Amino acid sequence: MKTIPFGKSGLQVPALALGCMRLTKLDEQGAQRYVRTALDLGANFFDHADIYGGGKCEELFGKAIAGIPREQLIIQSKCGIVPGKRYDFSKEHILTSVDDILKRLNVEYLDVLLLHRPDALMDPVEVAEAFSTLKAAGKVNHFGVSNQNPYQMALLRKYLPMPIVANQLQMSVTNCTMITQGMEVNMATNGAVGRDGGVLDYCRLNDITIQPWSPFQYGFFEGVFIGSEKYPELNKKLDEIAVKYGVSATTIAVAWLLRHPARFQPIIGTMNLSRLAECVKACDVQLTRQEWYDIYLSAGNMLP
């Protein structure tokens, strides 16, 4: 598995992270098979959140990794969402959430903890205190965020005694406003609208790894673009390039993200082992510059 530097953590991590949101679609035996297959493929970075399956995903994962040396795994989880009620980045909530996460996973520490979406009532001093407490206790090694813009991260960074190593953001060839706003600069086009404050450039400037989530989705969980009648030109182009490299369209869709010099770490959420193997193959495909642009344009994006 190809590896990349993970923010300023000093870690070299797999170029793909495995999202465990759908883990409860598997039984205990299936979850064990999923984890073992992932490790055989060199994919040992697993992404969780305390709300996935209401905590059941972490519990199942904890059982699935029984007997596997902890140092062979890179485990990331997220906290801060109280479903349907609020976001909560209070010190008390973060500390309690991590204790509960560790208990469900049956591990002593997390490699990475992310704040799950922005909290309008975030006090950066409280967050810094929580992170420092967790770091000192050996419960979390590295910290990051998800779905945050540059100013939200800058506010946190003013108080944090450690770097923000990652920002998890929605990103696919059909949802690439981070890229289009940099391409359509100074234009009166929809793609020119700055929706995130230049988060792509900010993360690159500050060595924060972007983890694209939903790399195969269009819209906000509206569906998968691969094979969709809504994207005939994109699928035609993906299939054409896939034939050239002897891989699947899925592989090429992931390779499109990996080709970007920002060194994204896509979150792959499939529980299908064959599809997982197809995604991992993307690490061995280096698209040409023209192929990258051909895919970009076929998804409905433009060149000024």
**Cβ atoms 266, 4 nearer than 8 A:** no
Q: Tell me the torsion sign for CA atoms 119, 195, 113, 32.
A: positive
Distances (CA, A) of 74 to 4, 113, 118, 199: 14, 11, 24, 25
Q: Is 52 a catalytic residue?
A: yes
Residues in the chain: 304
By three-state DSSP, how is residue 46 classified?
strand
- Given a contact cutoff of 8 angstroms between Cβ atoms, the answer to whether 254 and 266 are in contact is yes
d(CA 67, CA 204): 38
Instruction: Map tokens 């923010």 to a residue.
Output: 7
Catalytic residue among 52, 202, 231, 296: 52
As a whole number of angstroms, the distance between CA 25 and CA 32 comes to 13
| Crossing angle of helices 150-159 and 124-136, rounded to 10° | 60
Active site amino acids: 52
